[in-house]
Amino acid sequence: MPVAVVSDTTHYLPEQVVADSQIHLVSLYVKFGETLQRESDMTDMAGFYERMRTAKDLPTTSQPSVGDFLEVYEPLLEAGDDIVSIHLSAGISGTYDSALQAKQSLEERGLSGRIEVIDSTTTCGGLGGVAMAAAARARSGGGLNEVVAHARKAREHFKLWFAVDTLEYLKRGGRIGPAQAWLGGALKIKPILSIESEITPIERVRTSGKAFDRMVDYLRARAGDGADGWIVQHIRAEDQAERLVEAGREIFGSEPIFVSEIGPVIGAHVGPGLLGVGGLPASYLR
């Protein structure tokens, strides 16, 4: 049977990449004040992040419901597809659990063996890269088990780093994880983090300029490891992102897989000013 790849909105792949990769989406939710919205319906990034800068209470986020997953899964199964469903880390969201519950509900109806749910143990560009790899193998005719194995191998080779202006948003949102140890220091720092199941501290630098330089260093490291499928993501940092892209072109001699802005669900927890890079071997995407 053909395999359909499902993911959630926290990969922040550009719309054209999602369309070209034929990735099906399940949206997370954002509540700001009294308004609850699907992230997939939120298009005013500038307005959202400006409101975050000044709001007394931060927005909250929530996972898709089991019903949200069934709305995506059922038509795909009826069309004859098997499903590989890949989602942001279970260490920071209940999205993976909702997907598992939807799978179990369908298995109780006699559809056992046609859905595999993967915890990507990451999010943003890492999730996007893994979903793209799975979709590439599915388009080339891979079966369910082959697509799952390919996605898992792609995840092993994807590395993601991001610098944030402050840990305050992660602290207030309760997603700070092991980076908690960096709170309360006397020096004003620019934290560099990753996501390996949860928010993982990498290093601390003192200025935005140094953080940018470290992002360039990480791109060089990826190139040295043969991870020539590289990405850049940001939150309200278009100029810095473009400078990173220019540096990446010089390092890799190629264009990035994608460049995108991180949206409200992850943005609500890290705040404006994020700059991130990552990559995996481009062979996984073919």
Report whether pLDDT(266) > 60: yes
Instruction: Give the span between the Cα atoms of 82 and 95, in whole angstroms.
Output: 20
| For the chain, the helix, strand and coil percentages under 3-state DSSP, each to the nearest 5 | 45, 25, 30
**b/e 107-120 (16+ beta carbons within 10 angstroms → b):** eeeebeebbbbbbb
Q: Which pLDDT value is given to residue 236?
A: 96
Instruction: Give the span between the Cα atoms of 216 and 266, in whole angstroms.
Output: 23
89 is written with which tokens?
């880390």
Question: Higher confidence at residue 201 or residue 262?
Answer: 262
CATH topology of domain 3-156: Rossmann fold (3.40.50)
- Per-residue pLDDT tens for 163-180? 998 777 777 665 556 555
Closest by CA to 157, choosing from 278, 45, 50, is 278
Least confident stretch, 128-132, 164-168, 191-195, 266-270: 164-168
- Per-residue pLDDT tens for 211-239? 999 999 999 999 999 999 999 999 999 99
Where in 156-280 does DSSP place strands (E)?
Answer: 159-163, 190-196, 198-205, 229-234, 258-261, 275-280
Instruction: Give the CA radius of gyration of the chain.
Output: 19
| Chain centroid to CA 39 | 13
Phi, psi of 274 (to 5 degrees): -65, 145
- pTM given for the model: 0.94
CATH topology of domain 159-285: Hypothetical Protein Tm841; Chain: A;domain 3 (3.30.1180)
Q: Which pLDDT value is given to residue 201?
A: 86
Q: CA dist 90 to 40, 47, 82, 117, 149, Å?
A: 20, 29, 23, 11, 19
Residue with tokens 């990826």: 222
Residue range 249-271: mean pLDDT, rounded: 96
Q: Under a CB-based contact definition with an 8 Å cutoff, are residues 134 and 116 in contact?
A: no
Where does CATH 3.40.50.10170 sit in the chain? 3-156
Residue 24, beta-bridge partner list: 6
Instruction: Give the span between the Cα atoms of 278 and 251, in whole angstroms.
Output: 13
Instruction: Give the span between the Cα atoms of 226 and 30, in whole angstroms.
Output: 37
Residue 137, amino acid? R
pLDDT bucket at 184, cuts 50 / 70 / 90: low
Residue range 190-209: mean pLDDT, rounded: 88
Residue 190, beta-bridge partner list: 205
Closest by CA to 231, choosing from 213, 221, 244, is 244
255 is written with which tokens?
């264009």
Closest by CA to 159, choosing from 205, 208, 122, is 122
Q: Which pLDDT value is given to residue 186?
A: 42
